[in-house]
A and B are shown apart, each in its own frame.
Chain A
Amino acid sequence: GEDVEQSLFLSVREGDSSVINCTYTDSSSTYLYWYKQEPGAGLQLLTYIFSNMDMKQDQRLTVLLNKKDKHLSLRIADTQTGDSAIYFCAERGLTGGGNKLTFGTGTQLKVEL
């Protein structure tokens, strides 16, 4: 079945780059996503990448995909205190069909001054 794993915590200093990593098992994954969740809030879609791409850049966000190793990363440049949140990676595969997303456990990003 599908499984998505992430490290639980990451702490960075304001202004540095943050890199959040994710691994997945479903080789049929079509799209991979990054969501942000702030305390008491829902999930905010940050960006996504199609499985036949290896990189996507969107302002301060860079997504890297290594399909061979089933490894996804999110780089946040010039990290700010407002970036402190939990970040979830998710994959949508053909196995489940439709719009079912399988989420990782989430990485809590703490940005320190």
Chain B
Amino acid sequence: KAGVTQTPRYLIKTRGQQVTLSCSPISGHRSVSWYQQTPGQGLQFLFEYFSETQRNKGNFPGRFSGRQFSNSRSEMNVSTLELGDSALYLCASSPRDRENTEAFFGQGTRLTVV
């Protein structure tokens, strides 16, 4: 069974640009969550999508957005990039609704903003 796939693995962008990251969850999983990992702030929850609907949102500015498609694949978008957006962005896949217990993570996308 394939794991969680995130693309691309690495990205370098310039301040002011926008970026789109992709996450393909484990087959059959319907929940996708996104996290930002930085040395200073650690792992912080961005948002969660379930059945194409955003179910939960963390404390990030509106420049951070996401969506989920009917096949459960998810994308997150960051507009008007800032240097502080440089981070490892991790996506987690979970099987079902509230009853599930496990969240499996992808390898992450390393975003560098210059």
Contacts and interface: CB of A to CB of B under 8 A. Distances in A.
A7 interface: no
A45 B42 CA distance: 17
Interface string B93-104: 010001011111
A100 B49 CA distance: 10
Contact of A48 (B50, B98, B101): B101
Nearest to B109: A42
Nearest to A101: B103
Contact of A99 (B31, B106, B108): B31
A99 B103 contact: yes
Interface in A13-45: 31, 33, 35, 41-45
Interface in B44-86: 45, 48, 50, 55-56, 58
Nearest to B94: A99
B101 A101 contact: no
Contacts of B105: 35, 42-45
B102 A48 contact: yes
Contacts of A48: 101-102
Bin chain A's interface residue count: 20 to 34
Interface string B5-41: 0100000000000000000000000010101000000
B92 interface: yes
B107 interface: yes
Which of A90, A101, A104, A105 has the most C-beta atoms of chain B within 10 angstroms of its own C-beta?
A: A101
B42 A31 contact: no
Q: Which among A88, A90, A98, A102 has the highest number of chain B CB atoms within 10 Å?
A: A98
Contacts of B45: 96, 100-102
Contacts of B56: 96-100
A11 to B, nearest CB: 20
Given A41-B108, A98-B98, A101-B45, 17 more contacts: A31-B101, A41-B107, A42-B90, A42-B105, A42-B107, A43-B92, A48-B102, A96-B45, A98-B31, A98-B48, A98-B56, A99-B33, A99-B92, A99-B103, A101-B33, A103-B35, A103-B42
